[in-house]
Structure 1
Amino acid sequence: MSSSPTPSEREAADKITAAREAEEQARLPYKWMQTIQDVDLTAQVPGNLKARDFDIKITKDHLRVAIKGQDPIIDGRLPHPIYVDESTWTLETTPSGKELAVHLDKVNKMEWWAHVVETAPKIDTSKIAPENSKLSDLDGNTRSMVEKMMYDQKQKEMGLPSSDEQKKQEMLEKFMAQHPEMDFSNAKMSP
């Protein structure tokens, strides 16, 4: 009979997993981070290199980043599609030399990536704490839906009807006003 791990056992296992992931990610020749909208990766490169010294190919489902004549820094199939026209790369001068930065714009803005390319070690995406976003960051439809959900939650907390329940009540009242000859004394609103 197996029993569920205790909270302290789960916490210890999570720490071991996090340490293993950190070690695997540190061994990669690049560093990467993501938001729900995009993935950014950077790699330190020799300071004498120019943009023409790189072999970079970004497609909808594949990424190749290499210094010409050398093994690739990253080369593999992306786990999810990207918008190629919105994805870019730059070469920037830093105090420690030069840094190659690649920006990938995710097609699915509702999904965390476990890795940049399918051959790289995975991270546990269930442990990602998303950044706080502002309503102004959202597109119109998403913003309206979130505002409605927030309003309905506030109404529920105060024991008041949700926006849908309010609409139903308004429709019933309008119908009752249009049909005064009908008896509505036993009318009930179903949830």
Structure 2
Amino acid sequence: MASAADDYDSLSAEDRQIRDKQDRAREQEEQAALPYKWTQELTEVDIIVPVPKGTRGKDLAVVIQKKKLSVGLKGQDKILEGELCQAIKVEDSTWTLEDNQSVLIHLEKINRQQWWENVLTHHPKIDTRKIEPENSKLSDLDGETRGMVEKMMFDNQQKQMGKPTSDELKKQEALRKFQAAHPEMDFSKAKIS
């Protein structure tokens, strides 16, 4: 049986546009039917849950766990409840009541390199391949991530010019230092791999 991806790959450009438009419309309809709205970045998920106007914090029952989430009014059925599609950092996740009519939930992802298909596993999924993240600046990134991105950009630029990557340059420098420290050795047949 052919997979949906194989089927998609065999479509013409016009048919792909039609399929994408249908898929987007279906996704929007499914997401609009949820009892909340949600957005995400690679590192976090933000959820807005409407509650009756005049709701106070003490009226709410909100539970945020590593793989579970529930929101509701005390003594009533939950507005949403279930297993999160991915694990979160509970200690960095929060909820607040805004204007006594919506609960804002901020979840910090543990896996900060993966888009979520849905918030709760039993809710409709979105196609994460179609997500277009906002352009971010290198200065927005933490030091470690920024260093990795800069290295990747440098290595890509070097490859395009037919020059050695940063790892290859490090190996060449290590060999030069070793040669300088050991002039008695013959390095004429040395290969760097």
Shared fold per TM-score greater than 0.5: yes
- What amino acid does structure 1 have at the position aligned with 2:83? R
Equivalent residues in 2 for 1:164-183 (5 A)? 164-183=167-186
Counterpart of 1:55 in structure 2 is: 61
Runs of 5+ consecutive residues of structure 1 not aligned to the other structure: none
Counterpart of 1:17 in structure 2 is: 23
Counterpart of 1:151 in structure 2 is: 154
- What amino acid does structure 1 have at the position aligned with 2:189? A
Counterpart of 1:130 in structure 2 is: 133
C-alpha distance after superposition, 1:84-113 (max 9, x if no partner): 1111111111xxx72211111111111111
CA-CA distance at 1:188 after TM superposition: 5.0
CA-CA distance at 1:130 after TM superposition: 1.9
User: C-alpha separation between the residues in 1 aligned to 2:133 and 2:95?
Assistant: 24
CA-CA distance at 1:67 after TM superposition: 1.5
Alignment of 1:67 onto 2:73: yes
TM-score (ref. length: structure 2): 0.86
TM-score (ref. length: structure 1): 0.87
Counterpart of 1:117 in structure 2 is: 120
- Give aligned pairs, total: 186
User: C-alpha separation between the residues in 2 aligned to 1:63 and 1:69?
Assistant: 17
Counterpart of 2:36 in structure 1 is: 30
Runs of 5+ consecutive residues of structure 2 not aligned to the other structure: none
- What amino acid does structure 1 have at the position aligned with 2:94? T
- Check whether the contact 2:172–2:192 (CA below 8 A) recurs between aligned residues: no
Identity %: 52
- What amino acid does structure 2 have at the position aligned with 1:71? D
Work out which of the residue numbers 31, 38, 46 in structure 2 matches 1:40: 46
User: C-alpha separation between the residues in 1 aligned to 2:116 and 2:23?
Assistant: 17
